[in-house]
Structure formats: structure tokens, C-alpha cells
Amino acid sequence: MNYRLIRKDSEEILYYFREKEIEETMQRAPFSCVLLQVEDWERDLSPFPYENFAGGAAKSLMELKQIVREAEEGMSVKKRCIAGYSLAGLFALYAFYETDLFQGAASCSGSLWFPHFADYLKDQPRKEGRIYLSLGKKEEKSRHPLMKQVGDVTRDFDEQLTRQNVEHILEMNEGGHFHEPDRRLLRGMEWIMETKI
């Protein structure tokens, strides 16, 4: 996993997976940012092996912990969040639950349809933090038998967070998975970081 740090005079830091369209915008963010990049999304961000997905999220999470130590050396960090789009959105939730590193997670058009991830989420106890979920209204209209489950799984997780009294939001957006991903990711980042970018 590679990363690039945009350091600011702030006690807040956001880790997110690189979306080229928003790099310039992130330069204006009032907090430090760490842009993450993996070599192979299907290998590095999937939590469990399935067909072409290698289930390498645990290994990537170990690498991310090292990146956190390196990137934050000499910093006093009071708030750390993680955000991602699509499979990186699924990884953001996985990292949020698997570690105590993050106080917030944004899963924008997260691939929550991923096999066995719904069960993984159901097994998670209440955890403090802010969780942002978003989905395009057309995403669950997929013909793919797994991908069309994304709406049900996302709404079920939203209801679970409500029952657990976790601060969260689910935004349903116009369009499908590839409609305005940069804007949707930025909205998620602003919500978990509680500031405008």
C-alpha cells in the first residue's frame, strides 16, 4: 500500500483511498489527509476470499497501521477517520470495526453486497463513532445476483446502527454506482469530519 500525506496544522486526520478527481480539493481541507493507494483492489481490499477476490483486507489493514504510525509521527492526533468508495468503502467499514484507530468511517457506494459481509456486519457490537453510508438509487437494480443485494444490506446495516444508537446517516443519491463518485465521497468526508472542505 502506498500513501501520500497532506499535512496541516490540525489535530484531525482523514485517511482515504485516492480518487484523482478530488486530490486538488483535498489540498484545501482544514485537516491533514493521507491518500491511500493499493495495487489491486480485488486482492487488497476484499475481507474474505471469493472468486477473483483474494481476501487481502487483513494484510492491508496491517500495512495501514504502519502507515498511520509513519504518517502521524510528530503529530498530536485527536480524531482519525477513514473513507472510501465502492470496494474501498467496504474496506473503510472493515477497518473501522477491526481496529480502534478510527473514530469515523465513510462508506460511499460501499460494496456491502460482498459475500458474507452482511453477516460480518450483523456480528459487530455497538462502536462509538460517526458512520456515513451512501448509495445510488439505481445500484440495487443490477442484474448481478450479488450486487443487487446492496440496497437491502445497506438498509439493514442502517437499521442496525439506529438500534445501536450509533451516530450515522444513509444518503440515497440519484443515479447508479458511477454517478458523481467524487461529490459523493466528498460529502461523506465532510460528514464524518464535521467540516466543509
Q: How many CB atoms lie within 10 A of CB 48?
A: 16
CATH number at residue 182: 3.40.50.1820
Helices 87-98/57-71 angle, 10° precision: 70
Q: Tens of pLDDT along 104-145?
A: 999 999 999 999 999 999 999 999 999 999 999 999 999 999
Q: How many angstroms separate the CA atoms of 104 and 29, rounded? A: 17
Provide the pLDDT confidence category of residue 18 given band limits of 50, 70 and 90.
Answer: confident
Q: Tens of pLDDT along 50-66?
A: 999 999 999 999 999 99
Dump the DSSP string for 46-76: -SSEETTEE--HHHHHHHHHHHHHHHTTT--
pLDDT at 71 exceeding the cut of 80:
yes
User: How many domains does the structure of the chain reveal?
Assistant: 1
Per cent of the chain over pLDDT 90 is: 91
3-class secondary structure, 171: strand
pLDDT for res 24: 81
- Structural domain containing residue 173: 2-193
Q: At 86, give phi and psi (nearest 5°).
A: 65, -125
Q: How many angstroms separate the CA atoms of 15 and 64, rounded? A: 9
Provide the pLDDT confidence category of residue 89 given band limits of 50, 70 and 90.
Answer: very high
